[in-house]
Every structure is written in C-alpha cells, then in structure tokens.
Structure 1
Amino acid sequence: MIERNSGQAIWRQIATDISDAIRSGHYAPGSKLPTEAELSQLYGVNRHTLRRAVSELAEDGVIRVEQGRGSFVQEHVLDYLVAKKTRFSDNVLSQKRTPGGRTLLLQEEEGDPAILKQLGLTRSSKLTRLDRVGEVDGRPISVGSHYFPSVRVPGFADLHRELDSITKVLTRLGHGEYTRKVTRVTARMPDAADADLLQQPRSRPVLVVESINVTPDGKPIEYGIARYAADRFQLVFES
C-alpha cells in the first residue's frame, strides 16, 4: 500500500491509492470517504500528511471537500439537453441515471408583476407555485421555483400530490405537448438556503436557468427559475 522508502512522497502515494480505489469502484460516485481520522489510521500517517493527499485529489477534481461534512467522490457530470421538449426525468433517464425530487412548497399566490409579465398575464392574475428540489441518483442537483397561470391549471396542487410530476400533471390537464420557448442562463454564488439544499458550500457557484414553456397555441404555461449545482450539471443546447 504505502512504501516509505520508495522515493515518492507519502502523501502522493496515499492520493494515488485513494484514486485507484475510486476507479475500481471501491468508493462509488457521490459516496463519502472515511474521515480524516480513519484515513490517517488506515495509512499510518499524521493528519497533515493525509490532508495534503486529500487536497491534491480535490484539486484534480477526483473528490470534493465540503466544509463540516467531509470528503465525497465527485459524481459524473449530468449532460442536460435543452431542446424543444425539455423534460427533467427524460434527460436523467437517458443517461441511465435515476431521477427524483421532493416538494418544498405548493400553493396559489398573488402573482409577482415580473413573473406575470413573463407569462403574459394581467396584474390581478393568480399563480400556482411549486418549489422543488430535483435529484439525480438520490443526490440534489437543482432547486427550482415553477409558476403556472392558475386559471389554466385547475386542480394542479391535488394532481401534483397524486402524480408527483409536472409533466404528468400538465398532460392530465391537456397541456402535455408543451415546449420550451425561452432559456436564459446565468451564474452566481448560492445563498445559504440554496447551498444547504444542494449540499454544497456557498463558495461554489450555481447555474441559474430561467425558462418559459408554452402550449401548442403559443400561450405560456410555465415560468421557471432553477439553481443547479454547477459541478454536477452542464447544459447542452440542441441546434
């Protein structure tokens, strides 16, 4: 495992050994590595030496270190196709990965003027809002807010509780052929709430994706704004 008289630095040997263990599948993508104390004991070194190895692995993108949580094997980046029909679950399943998620908020509310404008609605219109964490292989990848014209999605809340899918709900309501009209992408640092939900440090940026989906008659049916963990996600635009 570690040869102290090999002429190669001990920390580099440790980094190589951990990297080999990851490649062999001993540590799966997204899994948490043993603690510093456990690894120090395993390799028979002090924590300073162990931290040098961990730092090297993090710099190489093999692992990620999250303050207060530990070190994790870096996941494969998800290629997220943005096309005429953009569907979260289909994108994830196409890469033989498992989609999931959980609802944070589901309610009808007074419309924010800026969002109402995006949806082509009057100032007195009500919106149905869904806030949700999107997951891939059980790990959060996005935090999104989705807004629908309440008048066009009657019973949305009850249907979503039953079906747990935006696409399935819109299909049930006769809007299943909705398509993507607008996608805007920016980047910024996450706020504390998003960083916590995405299980990432606040020092790591997120991709902010703003979108508008429309029904075949050209009427906006959904305005969304989602924050994606930038190190686990990349947008691919279909030309």
Structure 2
Amino acid sequence: MGETDNSTMTDGSGVARGSGVSLWKQIAEAITAEIAEGRLAPGARLPTEAELAERFGVNRHTLRRALGVLTEQGVIEATPGRGTFVKEVPLHYAIGARTRFSEIVSSEGRAPGGRFLSSQREPAPRDIAERLKIPHGTELLRIEIVREADGVPVVCGTHWYVADRCKDLEFLVAATGSITRALEALGLGDYRRLETRVTARLADETERTLLALPAGRVVMVVESVNGDARRLPIQYTRSRFAADRVQLIVKS
C-alpha cells in the first residue's frame, strides 16, 4: 500500500496530499510530464531513490511503486550497477548484405563502442562446421565481445572464425574493440552477410550481466554467417540483442 493523506496540501514537491489521488501515481505522472516536456531527455539518468524520495517527500516504498509502474510502462529502465534511466527510442538495426554495427549506431546519432571480453582456440563442432562449410574439428578462433551505443550495452556476441584465415585477429579486436576494423587489417573488410536466423528467448544470467538487464528480460538471438568477396564463409556469429533496446530491420 502507498502512503495515505490526512489533509489536502500541495507543497513544493509537486504532489497534492489529500487530493484522493495516490502519491505514487502523482509521482509517476510528474516524472512522465518531465519527460514529455523535455526536462528529462531520452537516456538521461534519474536521481537516486533517496534524492527522489526527499524531493517528493515520500518514503522509499511509495517511490518504488511509482518507479515500478513507469518501468512496466516502458518509460524508464533500471540497469544493475548503473542506475535508472529514461528509456531511449530503440536502435534501428538494419540487417542486410553489409551489416556493420558501428556504422548503424553512428547513423542513428549515437556513439558506438565495444568491449573485448575473451578469445580462445577450439575445434569446430558439427553445427558450426556445417555453417562455415569446413570439416568437423577444424581449428576455430572464438571471440566474445559486447557492443554499446552511447555507453549502453546493446548486444553481446560470440564470433567464430576459421583460425588459419584470421591469424592474430583476437589481438586486433582487443586493440580496436571493432570486428570490422580488425578484419580490414587482415584484408577481409569487405565481408558480406550470407545468412541470418533470428529467434527470441529469456536472457540467461551471463547475458543479463553483460547487457545490464533485470531478470525476466528477453534477448533476440541473431545467428549469422558472413563470407568474403568469393562468398566463402569466414565468420559465424551468435549475437544476443537486448530486445527492448533494438528494432531489427531486415533489408532485401
């Protein structure tokens, strides 16, 4: 239950006590109005719970109910370790023959970024070998990376490459934070999308951590095969996009 009012009074907090309208609802409406009026821009970080509770003159329980409703409505988003933010318009991510994360993010007026996580060598399992059209057991280079837009994680990706065609690729990705620039350095910058498959599921614990997602959120899993100028597969990728932060657009 929220706080109850014993007298009608409007103070500097912007809420009217005793008005018959629950305080949590008034707080939610006040924050929504600030967003609509542009005083809180998309991507803006909200003050802390303590600061908001003091501003509105309410307890934490009442404030959290207001924030919870706004979260359910998709107005704001709380990300573990970062705070609560005004939801941005989903990133329009076009999937076509030439799909480049940095170019897509930049075209949306946002700053692209990347974090290299790890790399390792491993034999190709049958499913990936089939996608890359190589013998089962061929040595692959596996790279894990997170990509961001304006500092907000959008996608975590696992990339597999035929190791003998992409020597030192892991070091180039670690240095640049970019798959595209790393492949360009190896003369493979003109890679093209050969195949794309899209599914959706609940994010697992690792994905929630990497993408700063609360429990219960969905990821879109995009499996893709990219090839060189001769359409020879060089990369198989399994990307997990935060579903509410991106809109996938398939171009023909």
Judge which range, 216-225 or 27-36, deviates more.
27-36
Alignment TM-score, normalising by the size of structure 1:
0.90
The corresponding residue for 1:29 is 42
The corresponding residue for 1:145 is 158
Judge which range, 71-80 or 127-136, deviates more.
71-80
The corresponding residue for 2:52 is 39
Compared CA separation, residues 66 and 132, structure 1 to 2 (3 A): closer
**Letter in structure 1 aligned against 2:59:** N
Match of 2:149 among 136, 148, 151: 136
Deviation at 1:62? 0.7
| CA–CA separation in structure 1 for the residues paired with 2:237 and 2:84 | 32
| Cα deviation code 1:135-181 (max 9, x no counterpart) | 11011111110111112112322333343321122222222221101
Q: How does 1:1-239 map to 2 (within 5 A)?
A: 1-4=14-17, 8-65=21-78, 71-239=84-252
Q: Secondary structure at the match of 1:175?
A: coil
Deviation at 1:120? 0.6
Judge which range, 29-38 or 89-98, deviates more.
29-38
> What is the RMSD of the two structures over their aligned residues, measured on CA atoms?
2.1
Q: Secondary structure at the match of 1:231?
A: helix
**Letter in structure 2 aligned against 1:37:** A
Would you say how many aligned residue pairs link Structure 1 and Structure 2? 239
Deviation at 1:15? 1.4
| CA–CA separation in structure 2 for the residues paired with 1:230 and 1:123 | 33
| CA–CA separation in structure 1 for the residues paired with 2:150 and 2:47 | 21
Same amino acid, percent of matched pairs: 45
Gaps of 5+ in 1: none
Alignment TM-score, normalising by the size of structure 2:
0.86
Deviation at 1:92? 0.3
Q: Secondary structure at the match of 1:235?
A: strand
